[in-house]
Structures are given as structure tokens and as C-alpha cells.
Amino acid sequence: MIEAYVYSSCTSCRKTLEELQASGAEFRSRDYFKDRFSRDELKAMLDRTGMVPSMVLSTRSRAYRERELDAENISDDDLLDLMVEEPTLLRRPIVIKLDQVVIGYNPRLLAELIAS
């Protein structure tokens, strides 16, 4: 089953959900702004997919700029805490199928994930 972690106000997330629906693929989605990740959930998702927090960090987010974060000088533990506190620090959407992950809207990679 495909898992889609989205923000309902995000255009890229809506496009991704439209493509998933149009494909007929079985998927479940979670708006992680309405149903926030716990720290353990986020860590488990990242561990399961072989990712670390810096791989899903949105350095273009307002929260990143306002907090004057420096991705190279912040620990994974601190990043996890910040991402749970401020979900805009997570890139979106995050789409997972088994060991495949697509971060951000990428129609080609999404199509490959759906087809696999």
C-alpha cells in the first residue's frame, strides 16, 4: 500500500493525490498538519525508509528562515523535535511504497513508484 503524507493546503500535495487517485493505486493519505506526527512516529517512518531528518528538511520554509536554522549544524535529534513542533519544516509531499520514497512533487518518480 502507498502512503502519502500531505498538507491539504499544498498545491504539490493536491497534485500528488490527484495522480494517485487517477492511477487507481491503493493508497492512504494523512494530512500531517491536521494529524500531526509524534516524534516516535516520524522517527520510525524515517528509519523504515532509510532516511534521516535532514533528507526531508524544507530549507525553503518560512519556519526554517525565521528560526535561522543551519542544516549543517543541527543534530538529527534536534531536527526531529523541531519538525514535530513545526510541520512546515518537513518537505512535502512524502510518498512511500515499501522501500521507495518520493519527496516533493515529481510526476516521473511518482509514476515509477505507482507502477512498481
Query: Count of domains in the chain?
Result: 1
Q: Residue 90: give the domain boundaries.
A: 2-115
The CATH number of residue 86's host domain is 3.40.30.10
pLDDT at 56: 92
- Rounded to two decimals, what is the model's pTM? 0.89
Structural element, H or E, at residue 77: helix 76-85
**What confidence tens digit (pLDDT) does each residue in 37-70 have?**
999 999 999 999 999 999 999 988 888 888 888 8
Strand order in the sheet with 27-31: 27-31, 2-6, 94-97, 100-103
**What confidence tens digit (pLDDT) does each residue in 78-88 have?**
999 999 999 99
